Amino acid sequence: MSTAGEAFDFKQWEANASVQMVSASISFLASLIIVASTGKSFLSEKRNRNHNVRTVVARNEVNNEDTTGLKKKATPYRRIIFLISASDILSSLACITGPFMAQKTNPQALWAVSDSNAACVVNGFFFTVGAKTSLLYYATLCYFYYCKISKQMTDEQFARSHLHN
C-alpha cells in the first residue's frame, strides 16, 4: 500500500480510472444511439429513392415530402451531429479501454493486460483521431450556425456550397 506522502496512490488511481470508464461508457452508449438513429434515417432516405414516381407523388401529399420522395432528414445539421457522434464513439472507446492498454511493466498500470506497448499506441491513436475529429466537427457545427443565422443561408444553400454530396 502507498503512504500519504507518495505521489502515486492506488485508491485514487482506481477511483479516477473507474470514473473515466463509467463516464466514457455513458458517452459511448449515447453516441451509439445517435449514430444508429441518424444512420437509420440515412438508410431510409436511400430506400425512398428506389420507389417509382407514381407512388412517390401519391405519398408526397400524405407524408409532406418533397417532389423527389425524400424526407428531409439528411440536413447538414443531422450530418454534422452524426459525424460528431461517430468520432465520439472512437474517443469514448479509447477511454473505456485505456486503463487496460498500458504495458504490464509500467508500475502505474495496475490493470494492464498487455505485455507490449502496441496496444497503448493503438488506443492512443483512436483517442487522438476521435478527439480531434470531434473538435473539427464542433467547429463545423459552429460555422453551420454562423452561416444559418448571420448569412441567412438555408440548409440547401449550405449543403450546396460547403458539403460534398
pLDDT in tens, 120-154: 899 999 999 999 999 999 999 999 999 999 999 99
Q: Is the pLDDT of residue 116 over 70?
A: yes
- Whole-number Å distance between alpha carbons of 22 and 60: 45
- Cα–Cα distances in angstroms (integers) from residue 113 to residues 12, 73, 98, 102, in the given order: 20, 44, 11, 7
Task: Please tell me the predicted confidence (pLDDT) of residue 149.
Answer: 94
The per-residue b/e assignment along 110-136, b for 16 or more CB within 10 angstroms, e otherwise, is eebebeeeebbeebeebbeebbebbee
Helix axes 76-97, 155-162, angle to 10 degrees: 60
Better pLDDT: 39 or 89: 89
pLDDT band at 64 (very low <50, low <70, confident <90, very high): very low
DSSP character for 114?
B
Task: Please tell me the predicted confidence (pLDDT) of residue 114.
Answer: 79
Q: What separation, in Å, do the N-terminal and C-terminal C-alpha atoms of the chain show?
A: 58
DSSP character for 4?
T
Residue 69, SS3?
A: coil
Question: Does pTM surpass 0.75?
Answer: no
> Which residue carries 483521431 as its cell?
129
Return the half-sphere exposure (C-beta side, CA atoms, 13 A cut-off) of residue 50: 5
Task: Please tell me the predicted confidence (pLDDT) of residue 164.
Answer: 64
DSSP character for 67?
T
Task: Please tell me the predicted confidence (pLDDT) of residue 165.
Answer: 57
